[in-house]
A and B are shown apart, each in its own frame.
Chain A
Amino acid sequence: MKEVNKFDIFCHSRLIELQIEIEERNRLRDGDGGEILVSTLEFRGITKSFPGVRALDNVSFKAKGGQVVALVGENGAGKSTLLKILNGDYQPDAGQYMIDGRECHSRTPHAAINAGVSVIYQERQVIPYLSVAENIFMEEIPVGPVRLINYNELNRRAQQIIDEFKLPIKATQRVKDLSVAYQQMVEIMKSYRRKPKVIAFDEPTASLSDAEIEILFGIIEDLKKKGIIILYVSHRMKEIFQITDEVVVLKDGKFVDQLKTSSTNENELIFKMVGRNLGDIFKGLDRNENIGETILEVKNLVANNVKNVSFSLRKGEILGFAGLVGAGRTETMRAIFGADKYTSGEIYVEGEKIEIKSPEDAIKNGIALCPEDRKDQGIIAKRGIRENISLAILESLSKRGFINFSKEREIAEKGVNDLNVKTPTIEKHIGELSGGNQQKVILARWLAANPKVLILDEPTKGIDVGSKSEIYQIICNLAKQGIGVIMISSELPEILGVCDRILVMCQGRITGELMREEATEKKVLTLAMADMLGGY
């Protein structure tokens, strides 16, 4: 009992403190007209090393309240490390950060929260089977006498916050019943309830649809108006120009520049990030000019979310599959690869009809698939690069069940060299590589299997600009070797820039076919939204 009271009094007094602070701030704003007391976040000479690599090297910059500051850079530039230092996960080797001019020593995430820092990660950190209110008030659930949860009070206070955010959800709903976007909103509300001075977003839009992204941006806009400092980490250029006020560029752990978003452009940013101009990477690609005969033919394929899909793919061709998320592209490919069952339809490889019941069958028939979700479906994180590369060819690598290790090493080394995987040895755990290098290892896995058809599902998802252009060239090289490549991508520029032919899907059907020369973003989008525009 005593403890409860103490705790309540503590919370209460903190609330009052905060209120006074806010009132003071408002008074200053109204009184002096223009002289606004804004909170500041300053990084001073942050340095952090890990064995073999200097993740951050003397990074200093400032951010002000009421502004969204983008943090950009390639994978490995140091963005995540900086966020982890901010929230107390890592301790810097040198330097510190200051909030409102006060030094903060956040030794744990808990201390960081108390200092007013909140980091919202790509992966949701909500508890699915608890209610929205319970999630928002996670560590400060209001309790009544005898320490039982006061649900009325809890739900009332949670609903207040929800209303403040103008969201159409109820405090009593279970979080697992919400869409991904609203789950993220719950997380934001949880942070907001702690009255933070800084909220950092790490790739917040990675798994959101366009409509959901708009909701998120509305909320970020609101948070900004409340004077909160917002750090925004994203690979998506479009978003950076849409919502941020300033951009901080990091490269190889070093601070490169801090610019006003309004006074820069995409090309300049990319140039600063990678140190070279990638403005027209697609024009520079060495493409395959020799497209051969048909290698894969799919007729009337029907599966879950796949409605009567027919198409063909030729040798050396790069065939793009465009469409919105949920259009049935991934499902089509999984059915062709045998990862999911298909109800009906026929698949021909080199003119021969084949039965595919499992990925094993597909691989035997020369079909390979790099799945969309690299972490959950592609890599075996705790094993080495060598074992990850040889995974699909173990059968041909072994004699009477025994693996030929020297041949295995040879193939792994060849894969690592051919695709320019950056690693000290082929025994390094694949989970410790950057996203781009992981993807190259997965590509090497399939190339070792000598496929006739290679299906790539979102091959550059979550990969930095530099590695992306490398992967585009690898894809073109594969086409030159006569492999038929199918590429699913939600990034239009990449579909338009890399593919010879584009099929657009919408709601499980193919709604159109565009040749490289005639394809434009508008045409693809029109076909991708065929259902919303009324028939096709």
Chain B
Amino acid sequence: MISSESTIYQGSRTAKDKVREFFRQIFTSDKLGLVIALLLIIIVFSILTGNKYFTGQNIINILISSSIVGLVAIGECYLVISGQIDLSPGSVAAFSGVLVSILLARGWHLLLALPSVVAFGCFIGLLNATLVNKLKLEPFIATLATMSIFRGLAYIICGGKAVFVTDKLFLKLGAGRILGIPIPVIVFIVMFAIFIVILSRTRFGRSVYMVGGNPVAARLAGINAAKVRTKIYMITSAFSALGGCIQAGRMSSGQPMSSEGLEFDAVTAVVLGGVAMTGGVGTLGGALLGLMILQGFNNGLMMMNVPSFWQTVSRGVLLIAALSFDFIRNRKRNK
């Protein structure tokens, strides 16, 4: 009833229409607020730090701090769009970091140890998916359980002590650089690019949206919702495992207490980037913007020597501010 249904769609579009459409999309885009926020952060911190903020080195710093959260955020973005959530990535990352360190300490080659650990990550994803699909547990509950299980197992397999790594190749994974760009950043950017394409251009990506938008309708249209969910949980856990390994490489040890709250940072970035918790709506590009705002803001506060406790507070405030902005804008548009 609210909709304008007076005209019947005309197939042809002129170039002028396309240009107009392009600008209309920019100004009505959900991303507009995010882009403005990011620009504001850059400008304000550049002024406050005397132009030390927006430099190549600092951008790389921001990207390094984003890389592991970013990998998990890819998975969480897919999950939230499909109407799910995973609370276990932090635990899975810690567990994987410890596991890969133990395997390396036992003399496994990195090219065997790393794929094995990531594969085991896939298995954890399969477990999460099975709990959700077969036992019909709420994703929140199912992954709360696995979160607890793998945090505990991370401590058990190493006896509660950090496992140190000396494998040079592995340490490079965390701290090495190619053409001056840290390897974790390269991994993160490549993965993001690949998964943006998958989400926006493939059949699987489309199914993610459809299952999130209306699982019943998607099933009745022949989409196997359970299969789609399984894939996404496996992707998320694999990324968590990979992130955990990179983290271990950076710290040159597998630490069972590491990556606490990783999943919440990732979900914060995703939600900040305009992905709706109700499912069916959002983009990975948006999640990337959300991540950059979050990390850029944290980095700025760090450069200003704001104590880390305040960074945690600011993360919450940022989230509320961003969502309020969205809310007000949507309400205005609907009026």
Report which A residues bind B (CB closer than 8 A). 50-53, 55, 75-76, 78, 80-81, 337, 339, 358-360, 362-364, 369, 371, 376-383, 387, 390-392, 394-395, 397-398, 401-403, 405, 413, 416-417, 420-426, 428, 432-434, 437, 445
Determine whether the beta carbon of B206 is less than 8 Å from that of A358: no
Determine whether the beta carbon of B9 is less than 8 Å from that of A421: yes
Give Cα A76 to B5, complex, Å: 9
Chain B residue nearest to A339 in the complex (CB) = B220
Total cross-chain contacts (CB, 8 A): 132
Is B180 interfacial (CB 8 A cutoff)? no
Partner of A432, one of B2, B217, B276: B2
| A49 vs chain B, min Cβ distance (A) | 10
Determine whether the beta carbon of A359 is less than 8 Å from that of B221: yes
Known contacts being A359-B222, A401-B202, is A50 close to B2, with CB within 8 Å? yes
Is B297 interfacial (CB 8 A cutoff)? no
Is B210 interfacial (CB 8 A cutoff)? yes
| Residue of B2, B4, B204, B222 ringed by the most chain A CB atoms within 10 A | B222
Determine whether the beta carbon of A394 is less than 8 Å from that of B2: no
Give Cα A424 to B2, complex, Å: 13
- Which residues of A are found within 8 Å of B201, using beta-carbon distances? 402-403, 405
- Which residues of B are found within 8 Å of A426, using beta-carbon distances? 9
Give Cα A377 to B210, complex, Å: 12
| B35 vs chain A, min Cβ distance (A) | 21
Known contacts being A380-B217, A387-B209, is A358 close to B1, with CB within 8 Å? no
Chain B residue nearest to A377 in the complex (CB) = B216
Partner of B213, one of A337, A380, A437: A380
Determine whether the beta carbon of A53 is less than 8 Å from that of B2: yes
Known contacts being A359-B222, A422-B6, A424-B7, is A382 close to B213, with CB within 8 Å? yes
| A339 vs chain B, min Cβ distance (A) | 6
| B299 vs chain A, min Cβ distance (A) | 34
Known contacts being A52-B6, A401-B203, is A391 close to B209, with CB within 8 Å? no
- Which residues of A are found within 8 Å of B223, using beta-carbon distances? 360, 391, 394
| B1 vs chain A, min Cβ distance (A) | 5
Determine whether the beta carbon of A387 is less than 8 Å from that of B5: no
Query: What would 9 A/B residue contacts be, using CB atoms closer than 8 Å?
Result: A50-B3, A53-B2, A55-B2, A380-B213, A381-B214, A402-B201, A403-B201, A434-B1, A437-B5
Determine whether the beta carbon of B4 is less than 8 Å from that of A52: yes
Is B247 interfacial (CB 8 A cutoff)? no
Determine whether the beta carbon of B218 is less than 8 Å from that of A380: yes
Report which B residues bind A (CB closer than 8 A). 1-9, 11, 201-204, 206-207, 209-210, 213-214, 216-224, 276, 280-281
| A376 vs chain B, min Cβ distance (A) | 6
| A356 vs chain B, min Cβ distance (A) | 12
- Which residues of B are found within 8 Å of A420, using beta-carbon distances? 8
Give Cα A11 to B276, complex, Å: 43
Determine whether the beta carbon of A376 is less than 8 Å from that of B206: no
Determine whether the beta carbon of B204 is less than 8 Å from that of A401: yes
- Which residues of A are found within 8 Å of B3, using beta-carbon distances? 50, 52-53, 423, 428, 432-434
Give Cα A371 to B214, complex, Å: 13
Q: 9 closest pairs, A vs B, by CB?
A: A52-B4, A380-B213, A422-B5, A432-B3, A363-B222, A392-B221, A391-B221, A398-B203, A360-B222
- Which residues of A are found within 8 Å of B1, using beta-carbon distances? 55, 75-76, 78, 80-81, 434
- Which residues of B are found within 8 Å of A339, using beta-carbon distances? 219-220
- Which residues of B are found within 8 Å of A81, using beta-carbon distances? 1
Chain A residue nearest to B198 in the complex (CB) = A401
Give Cα A428 to B4, complex, Å: 10
| Contacts beyond the supplied A55-B2, A359-B220, A381-B214: 8 A-B pairs with Cβ under 8 Å | A53-B2, A359-B221, A363-B222, A380-B213, A387-B206, A391-B218, A403-B202, A422-B8
Give Cα A387 to B223, complex, Å: 13
- Which residues of B are found within 8 Å of A424, using beta-carbon distances? 4-5, 7, 9
| A24 vs chain B, min Cβ distance (A) | 40
- Which residues of A are found within 8 Å of B206, using beta-carbon distances? 387, 390, 394, 403
Partner of B224, one of A358, A401, A403: A358
| Residue of A51, A379, A420 ringed by the most chain B CB atoms within 10 A | A51
Known contacts being A81-B1, A383-B280, A395-B203, is A413 close to B8, with CB within 8 Å? no
